[in-house]
Structure 1
Amino acid sequence: MTNMIAVINVIAWAGFWAFGYIALTTDDLSDSQLVIAAVLAFAGLVTGVMAYMKLVRVTEASGYAKGSKQLDAATRNRAQEEWGK
Protein backbone atom coordinates (compact mmCIF):
# COMPACT_ATOMS: atom_id res chain seq x y z
CA MET A 1 0.00 0.00 0.00
CA THR A 2 2.82 2.40 0.87
CA ASN A 3 4.50 1.78 -2.47
CA MET A 4 1.28 2.58 -4.31
CA ILE A 5 0.92 5.86 -2.39
CA ALA A 6 4.54 6.71 -3.24
CA VAL A 7 3.90 6.06 -6.94
CA ILE A 8 0.75 8.20 -6.81
CA ASN A 9 2.79 10.92 -5.13
CA VAL A 10 5.43 10.92 -7.88
CA ILE A 11 2.86 10.90 -10.68
CA ALA A 12 0.84 13.68 -9.04
CA TRP A 13 3.87 15.95 -8.63
CA ALA A 14 4.99 15.21 -12.17
CA GLY A 15 1.54 16.19 -13.42
CA PHE A 16 1.61 19.36 -11.34
CA TRP A 17 4.94 20.48 -12.76
CA ALA A 18 4.19 19.43 -16.34
CA PHE A 19 0.73 20.94 -16.62
CA GLY A 20 1.71 23.97 -14.56
CA TYR A 21 4.59 24.63 -16.91
CA ILE A 22 2.31 24.25 -19.91
CA ALA A 23 -0.29 26.58 -18.41
CA LEU A 24 2.26 29.26 -17.55
CA THR A 25 4.58 29.27 -20.55
CA THR A 26 2.66 28.30 -23.68
CA ASP A 27 1.36 31.25 -25.70
CA ASP A 28 -0.74 29.48 -28.32
CA LEU A 29 -3.29 27.75 -26.09
CA SER A 30 -6.98 28.48 -26.38
CA ASP A 31 -8.81 29.56 -23.26
CA SER A 32 -10.34 26.14 -22.70
CA GLN A 33 -6.95 24.41 -23.07
CA LEU A 34 -5.43 26.84 -20.60
CA VAL A 35 -8.19 26.18 -18.08
CA ILE A 36 -7.80 22.42 -18.48
CA ALA A 37 -4.03 22.64 -17.97
CA ALA A 38 -4.50 24.80 -14.88
CA VAL A 39 -7.13 22.44 -13.43
CA LEU A 40 -4.90 19.42 -14.05
CA ALA A 41 -1.96 21.22 -12.42
CA PHE A 42 -4.12 22.05 -9.39
CA ALA A 43 -5.34 18.44 -9.19
CA GLY A 44 -1.72 17.28 -9.25
CA LEU A 45 -0.85 19.72 -6.49
CA VAL A 46 -3.70 18.64 -4.23
CA THR A 47 -3.13 14.93 -4.86
CA GLY A 48 0.62 15.30 -4.34
CA VAL A 49 0.24 17.10 -1.03
CA MET A 50 -2.32 14.60 0.23
CA ALA A 51 -0.18 11.60 -0.79
CA TYR A 52 2.91 13.18 0.76
CA MET A 53 1.14 13.80 4.05
CA LYS A 54 -0.11 10.20 4.07
CA LEU A 55 3.44 8.96 3.50
CA VAL A 56 4.70 11.12 6.35
CA ARG A 57 2.09 9.68 8.71
CA VAL A 58 2.91 6.12 7.66
CA THR A 59 6.67 6.55 8.10
CA GLU A 60 6.26 8.19 11.51
CA ALA A 61 3.90 5.43 12.66
CA SER A 62 6.24 2.68 11.47
CA GLY A 63 9.27 4.21 13.19
CA TYR A 64 11.13 4.71 9.92
CA ALA A 65 11.13 8.49 10.40
CA LYS A 66 11.29 10.53 13.57
CA GLY A 67 7.93 11.66 14.84
CA SER A 68 7.08 15.33 14.94
CA LYS A 69 7.58 17.01 18.27
CA GLN A 70 4.00 18.13 18.69
CA LEU A 71 2.59 18.44 22.15
CA ASP A 72 -0.26 16.27 23.25
CA ALA A 73 -3.65 17.97 23.65
CA ALA A 74 -3.49 18.32 27.45
CA THR A 75 -0.03 19.91 27.45
CA ARG A 76 -0.95 22.24 24.59
CA ASN A 77 -4.16 23.37 26.33
CA ARG A 78 -2.31 23.97 29.60
CA ALA A 79 0.35 26.04 27.81
CA GLN A 80 -2.30 28.11 26.05
CA GLU A 81 -4.07 28.80 29.34
CA GLU A 82 -0.82 30.00 30.92
CA TRP A 83 0.16 32.17 27.94
CA GLY A 84 -1.85 35.25 28.87
CA LYS A 85 -0.82 35.24 32.53
Structure 2
Amino acid sequence: MNKAIAIINVIAWAGFWAFGFLALTAEGYTEAQLVTAALLAASGLITGIIAYLRLVRGSEQSGYAKPSARMTRAQREAAQAQWGQIE
Protein backbone atom coordinates (compact mmCIF):
# COMPACT_ATOMS: atom_id res chain seq x y z
CA MET A 1 0.00 0.00 0.00
CA ASN A 2 2.85 2.39 0.78
CA LYS A 3 4.27 1.88 -2.71
CA ALA A 4 0.97 2.91 -4.28
CA ILE A 5 0.77 6.00 -2.07
CA ALA A 6 4.38 6.86 -2.93
CA ILE A 7 3.61 6.59 -6.65
CA ILE A 8 0.53 8.79 -6.21
CA ASN A 9 2.69 11.25 -4.27
CA VAL A 10 5.26 11.52 -7.07
CA ILE A 11 2.63 11.89 -9.78
CA ALA A 12 0.72 14.51 -7.77
CA TRP A 13 3.81 16.64 -7.13
CA ALA A 14 4.88 16.32 -10.76
CA GLY A 15 1.43 17.51 -11.83
CA PHE A 16 1.60 20.38 -9.37
CA TRP A 17 4.94 21.62 -10.71
CA ALA A 18 4.10 21.07 -14.38
CA PHE A 19 0.66 22.65 -14.37
CA GLY A 20 1.72 25.34 -11.91
CA PHE A 21 4.52 26.31 -14.25
CA LEU A 22 2.09 26.43 -17.16
CA ALA A 23 -0.39 28.53 -15.20
CA LEU A 24 2.25 31.05 -14.14
CA THR A 25 4.30 31.40 -17.31
CA ALA A 26 1.76 30.80 -20.07
CA GLU A 27 1.43 33.39 -22.79
CA GLY A 28 -1.17 33.23 -25.51
CA TYR A 29 -3.47 30.76 -23.77
CA THR A 30 -7.15 31.38 -23.23
CA GLU A 31 -8.52 32.12 -19.79
CA ALA A 32 -10.18 28.70 -19.67
CA GLN A 33 -6.83 26.99 -20.30
CA LEU A 34 -5.17 29.00 -17.55
CA VAL A 35 -7.95 28.22 -15.09
CA THR A 36 -7.73 24.53 -15.99
CA ALA A 37 -3.97 24.54 -15.44
CA ALA A 38 -4.39 26.33 -12.11
CA LEU A 39 -7.05 23.86 -10.97
CA LEU A 40 -4.91 20.89 -11.96
CA ALA A 41 -1.95 22.42 -10.11
CA ALA A 42 -4.09 22.96 -7.01
CA SER A 43 -5.39 19.40 -7.11
CA GLY A 44 -1.81 18.14 -7.48
CA LEU A 45 -0.78 20.20 -4.46
CA ILE A 46 -3.62 18.93 -2.28
CA THR A 47 -3.17 15.32 -3.38
CA GLY A 48 0.60 15.55 -2.88
CA ILE A 49 0.26 16.91 0.65
CA ILE A 50 -2.30 14.27 1.63
CA ALA A 51 -0.19 11.46 0.15
CA TYR A 52 2.94 12.75 1.88
CA LEU A 53 1.20 12.91 5.25
CA ARG A 54 -0.09 9.35 4.79
CA LEU A 55 3.42 8.16 3.97
CA VAL A 56 4.78 9.83 7.10
CA ARG A 57 2.04 8.31 9.26
CA GLY A 58 2.67 4.87 7.75
CA SER A 59 6.42 5.08 8.29
CA GLU A 60 5.91 6.08 11.92
CA GLN A 61 3.50 3.20 12.52
CA SER A 62 5.77 0.65 10.87
CA GLY A 63 8.77 1.73 12.92
CA TYR A 64 10.77 2.88 9.90
CA ALA A 65 10.78 6.46 11.24
CA LYS A 66 10.80 7.73 14.79
CA PRO A 67 7.35 8.82 15.96
CA SER A 68 6.64 12.50 16.34
CA ALA A 69 7.33 13.98 19.75
CA ARG A 70 3.75 14.39 20.89
CA MET A 71 2.82 15.64 24.31
CA THR A 72 0.31 13.93 26.54
CA ARG A 73 -2.66 15.87 27.81
CA ALA A 74 -1.07 16.24 31.25
CA GLN A 75 2.18 17.58 29.75
CA ARG A 76 0.29 20.05 27.58
CA GLU A 77 -1.83 21.32 30.49
CA ALA A 78 1.28 21.70 32.69
CA ALA A 79 3.02 23.69 29.96
CA GLN A 80 -0.02 25.92 29.45
CA ALA A 81 -0.26 26.53 33.19
CA GLN A 82 3.29 27.91 33.13
CA TRP A 83 2.59 30.17 30.14
CA GLY A 84 3.75 33.72 30.80
CA GLN A 85 5.33 32.91 34.16
CA ILE A 86 8.87 32.41 32.86
CA GLU A 87 10.74 35.64 32.27
TM-score surpassing 0.5? yes
1:64 aligned onto 2:64:
yes
Q: Unpaired runs of 5+ in structure 1?
A: none
What's the offset of the Cα at 1:45?
0.2
Report matched runs for 1:1-85 at 5 Å: 1-85=1-85
What's the offset of the Cα at 1:70?
2.1
TM-score w.r.t. length of structure 2: 0.91
Name the CA distance, whole Å, in 1 between partners of 2:12 and 2:35.
18
Give identity over the alignment, percent: 56
Structure having the higher helix fraction is 1
What's the offset of the Cα at 1:5?
0.6
Name the CA distance, whole Å, in 1 between partners of 2:77 and 2:65.
27
Moved more, 72-81 or 1-10: 72-81
Name the CA distance, whole Å, in 2 between partners of 1:42 and 1:18.
11
TM-score w.r.t. length of structure 1: 0.93
Aligned residues: CA RMSD = 1.0
For residue 37 of structure 2, what is the amino acid of its counterpart? A
Name the CA distance, whole Å, in 1 between partners of 2:12 and 2:74.
37
Name the CA distance, whole Å, in 1 between partners of 2:72 and 2:28.
53
Name the CA distance, whole Å, in 1 between partners of 2:7 and 2:74.
37
1:7-65 C-alpha deviation (Å, 9 max, x unpaired): 11000000000000010111011000000000000000000000000100110111101
Q: Unpaired runs of 5+ in structure 2?
A: none
